[in-house]
Structure 1
Amino acid sequence: MSNLIYIGYYFKAKPLQPAVEILIAELGYAGFESFVETEEGVTAYIQKEEWREDVLEEIQILTSDEFEISFAFEEIEQTNWNAEWEKNFNPIVVDDVCAVRAPFHEKLDTEYDIIIEPKMSFGTGHHETTHMMIQHILKNDFEGKSVLDMGCGTGVLAILAEQKGASTIDAVDYDNWCYLNSIENVERNNCKSITVIEGDASILKGKYDIIIANINRNILMQDMEIYISCLNKNGKLFLSGFYNDDVPMIKAECEKHLLKFEEKLERNNWVSLKFLN
């Protein structure tokens, strides 16, 4: 697969909140897939092949009298992506026990420490969906479990699963850039139990005790039956990458396959769900 090229949009917003929260939600519906909040607003990224000249046409907040929003955009080449994220990427701590930081950040005093160099990959822990998935992993037993991290992005969730004691982890992403970046991050964190695989749900053949899928609503709905067929009896399925309005649709699809809904996390209208097989 060829590496993907992205278009980066740099938004400035006044007042900052709730403008940034609303803007991220509307951009997510428009096809933007990665966001970094800044001191002045938010930087958002969309794949060039998904971009069109009128991509912002239906973003209502841009024409709202309540907010003052300006933006610029540019094509992001992989060669300058490091500088792009480095100027925005600050370390995060989830629930006081898990730190996600870049190689140039000092180690923090947390039980779990993950070093990520995201480049163009999605999943630094800053986005709400990744943050909630980290919370799920922290709260659940992974000791000795077989795990699938579907749409692994940077590999951050797979890395935490190993740190939580998972015995084997398959980290899968269709994007060649994410695949290569996950391999780098797995090595950077001295992981021994993670296999990084390039592909989509069609390549899945094994069985897992736990499946993590942080993608988007349409892909989740499309591939749900495959995920569930790969889930062991009494297995756990964690889903994210969608909004609160999408929950009834996701729940109905899971319950159609006899999964039992157990927990919902919500963060700025983004949602993560836990199901039991």
Structure 2
Amino acid sequence: MGQTFLEFTFTPNPLQPAVDILIAELSEIGFESFVEKETSLVGYINEKDFNEEQFLELYVLQTGDFQITYTTKSVAQQNWNAEWEKSFDPIYIGEDCAVRAPFHKVRPVTYDIVIEPKMSFGTGHHETTHMMLQHLLETDISGKSVLDMGCGTGVLAILAAKKGAAQIDAVDIDNWCFKNSVENAARNDCPQIQVFEGDASYLKNKMYDIIIANINRNILLEDIPTYASCLKKGGQLFLSGFYLSDLKMISAKCEASGLQFLKKIEKNNWVAVKYVH
């Protein structure tokens, strides 16, 4: 029997920045996946993880800045693919990279990434994933060792593999993301990706040339010192999953850990940042 998920459909007015705030806050209380539509946001959470008290206390629902109505229903885990297929279009990052489902047709590109996200996060549609893909497209990864922390669908690890990374560890604390990344790595013929279920405690005695972490702000602030300790001299750290307004505290934590700010990409108040050891 598959697990049961709650599907919430939020209709905010105005749409932005309410949708971005919803995604950030809902992620903090256990929502695992989101589908952005023209006038609404659909979010999914495992029914056993839903805490109504936490949900009703969300800032975005309490503030008078937005009017947000929502409906909810139970859905079986195996129904996710059908819902996703109706709403997921292929995307292009620059001229060289496409992220698509197995049934999509795309124009020829250098890096053709095929994923089925199921209940995992990371199709490239969200600003943070899109910007991290941009960073990786601009980075020499050939022959490098890479860590994709909070890998979700594995899409960032897959691009690193397609760009010639020698060895990649993809880590996620969520079992569904772990399984989905294993499937997507195989689907894209990326044997150099090893997927692990766990958190930053997995990183003990590990060293990498490049670390990618697209996670929420609080986890990043907690784990940045660990990432820094796992970076080789001259290694690069790419971070996203937080707002531009959070950049000052993220950079302060990075600098305190011996990392130097190099570059940022911004999109709709989200930011993806590059640091060097």
- Fold match by TM threshold 0.5: yes
Find the residue that maps to 1:252 and give its secondary structure.
helix
Conserved 8 A contact 2:10-2:41: yes
Conserved 8 A contact 1:36-1:127: no
Deviations 1:197-253 (A, max 9, x none): 111110113210000011111111112121111100000000111111211111111
Query: What letter is aligned with 1:71?
Result: Y
The structure-2 alpha-carbon separation of the partners of 1:95 and 1:58, relative to structure 1 and needing over 3 Å to count, comes to farther
- 1:4-153 equivalent positions in 2, closer than 5 A: 6-13=5-12, 16=15, 20-21=19-20, 23-24=22-23, 27=26, 32=31, 34-48=33-47, 51-58=50-57, 69-153=68-152
The structure-2 alpha-carbon separation of the partners of 1:163 and 1:271, relative to structure 1 and needing over 3 Å to count, comes to same
Match of 2:154 in 1: 155
Query: What letter is aligned with 1:111?
Result: T
Match of 1:257 in 2: 257
Deviations 1:182-203 (A, max 9, x none): 1110111111211111111101
* TM superposition shift of 1:262: 0.5
* TM superposition shift of 1:4: 7.6
- 1:121-270 equivalent positions in 2, closer than 5 A: 121-204=120-203, 205-270=205-270
| Aligned mates of 1:29, 1:245 — CA distance in 2 | 17
Conserved 8 A contact 1:36-1:126: no
Conserved 8 A contact 1:4-1:175: no
| Aligned mates of 2:216, 2:179 — CA distance in 1 | 21
The structure-2 alpha-carbon separation of the partners of 1:218 and 1:11, relative to structure 1 and needing over 3 Å to count, comes to same
Conserved 8 A contact 2:24-2:216: no
| Aligned mates of 1:81, 1:112 — CA distance in 2 | 26
Query: What letter is aligned with 2:10?
Result: F
Query: What letter is aligned with 2:120?
Result: S
Deviations 1:150-195 (A, max 9, x none): 1111010000001111111111111111111111101111112111
| Aligned mates of 2:55, 2:24 — CA distance in 1 | 13
The structure-2 alpha-carbon separation of the partners of 1:56 and 1:162, relative to structure 1 and needing over 3 Å to count, comes to same
Structure 2 regions of 5+ residues with no counterpart? none
Q: TM-score, normalised by structure 2?
A: 0.89
Conserved 8 A contact 1:149-1:158: yes
Query: What letter is aligned with 2:232?
Result: N
Query: What letter is aligned with 1:247?
Result: L
Query: What letter is aligned with 2:71?
Result: A
112-121 or 64-73: bigger deviation: 64-73
Find the residue that maps to 2:121 and give its secondary structure.
coil
Query: What letter is aligned with 1:121?
Result: S
Query: What letter is aligned with 2:166?
Result: S
237-246 or 153-162: bigger deviation: 237-246
The structure-2 alpha-carbon separation of the partners of 1:94 and 1:5, relative to structure 1 and needing over 3 Å to count, comes to farther
Query: What letter is aligned with 1:236?
Result: Q
234-243 or 197-206: bigger deviation: 197-206
Conserved 8 A contact 2:90-2:104: yes
Conserved 8 A contact 2:120-2:176: yes
Query: What letter is aligned with 1:238?
Result: F
Query: Across the two proteins, how many residue pairs are aligned to each other?
Result: 275
* TM superposition shift of 1:96: 2.7
**CA RMSD across the alignment:** 2.4
| Aligned mates of 1:210, 1:221 — CA distance in 2 | 18
| Aligned mates of 2:62, 2:226 — CA distance in 1 | 41
The structure-2 alpha-carbon separation of the partners of 1:232 and 1:60, relative to structure 1 and needing over 3 Å to count, comes to closer
Structure 1 regions of 5+ residues with no counterpart? none
| Aligned mates of 2:244, 2:32 — CA distance in 1 | 17
| Aligned mates of 2:276, 2:17 — CA distance in 1 | 35
